[in-house]
């Protein structure tokens, strides 16, 4: 994995605030992020924008997570690959933002998948360009781990459903969003804290 690719990706990465503003700006023009434009992607993007507005107001970090963040002894950068139409990204980015806001040891930068194909190709999930992908980078821009596109529990739900039904359908996607709402970001926090502690 090329440190220069990570370095250049971090340099062009957006802060969470910039990411949200860019999506809102595109939506005001009737556009979604990414190369492909369709009514469906626009609808998903509008829904996700509202979802993220709500999550930004309601999500909280657990005391356990805050305590773990206080004891981090290294600095980390979260380089996240996402798109505005992605339902999983809409659920996970607000949590990542809270983690970065709560700790001076975490810096969050976001890049769009379709604009960063080279980077995406290094972090495929079972051969597919699944997002969001969180690339955990140290102070020397070396990749120490990656995570995503979903918390481990949700990944297991997806695998089990695919084995039983062959593919994910609209009903499963709805059930997954219900799971995210009930989970309130706790699984994402736990997964990422485990990875940071092991780094």
From the list 61, 57, 194, 73, the residue with the least C-alpha distance to 139 is 73
First-to-last CA distance in the chain? 17
Give a yes or no: residue 19 inside a domain. Answer: yes
The backbone torsions φ and ψ at residue 61, rounded to the nearest 5 degrees and listed phi first, read -90, 140
* Structural domain contains residue 181: no
Predicted TM-score (pTM) of this structure: 0.95
pLDDT, tens digit (0-9, with 9 covering 90-100), for 51-74: 999 999 999 999 999 999 999 989
Asked if the structure places residue 171 within a domain, the reply is no
User: Could you tell me what percent of the chain has a pLDDT over 70?
Assistant: 99
pLDDT in tens, 94-114: 999 999 999 999 999 999 999
Kindly tell me if the per-residue pLDDT of 2 is higher than 80.
no
Instruction: Tell me how far apart the alpha carbons of residues 152 and 194 are, in angstroms, rounded to a whole number.
Output: 12
Domain count of the fold of the chain: 1
Q: Has residue 172 been placed in a domain? A: no
Domain housing 48: 3-149+187-198
Domain at 118, CATH number = 3.40.30.10
Residue 161 in any domain: the answer is no
**Residue 154 belongs to a domain:** no
């Amino acid at each position: 994995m090329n440190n220069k690719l990570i370095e250049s990706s971090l340099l062009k990465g957006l802060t969470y605030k910039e990411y949200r503003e860019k999506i809102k700006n595109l939506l005001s023009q009737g556009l979604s992020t990414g190369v492909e434009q369709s009514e469906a992607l626009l609808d998903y993007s509008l829904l996700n924008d509202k979802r993220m507005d709500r999550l930004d107001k309601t999500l909280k970090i657990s005391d356990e997570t805050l305590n773990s963040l206080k004891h981090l002894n290294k600095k980390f950068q979260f380089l996240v690959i996402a798109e505005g139409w992605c339902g999983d990204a809409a659920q996970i980015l607000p949590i990542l933002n809270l983690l970065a806001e709560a700790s001076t040891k975490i810096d969050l930068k976001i890049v769009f998948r379709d604009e960063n194909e080279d980077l995406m190709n290094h972090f495929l999930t079972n051969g597919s360009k699944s997002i969001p992908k969180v690339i955990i980078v140290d102070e020397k821009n070396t990749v120490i781990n990656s995570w995503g596109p979903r918390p481990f529990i949700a990944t297991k739900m997806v695998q089990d459903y695919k084995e039983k039904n062959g593919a994910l359908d609209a009903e499963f996607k709805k059930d997954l969003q219900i799971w995210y709402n009930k989970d309130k970001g706790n699984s994402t926090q736990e997964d990422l804290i485990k990875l940071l502690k092991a780094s």
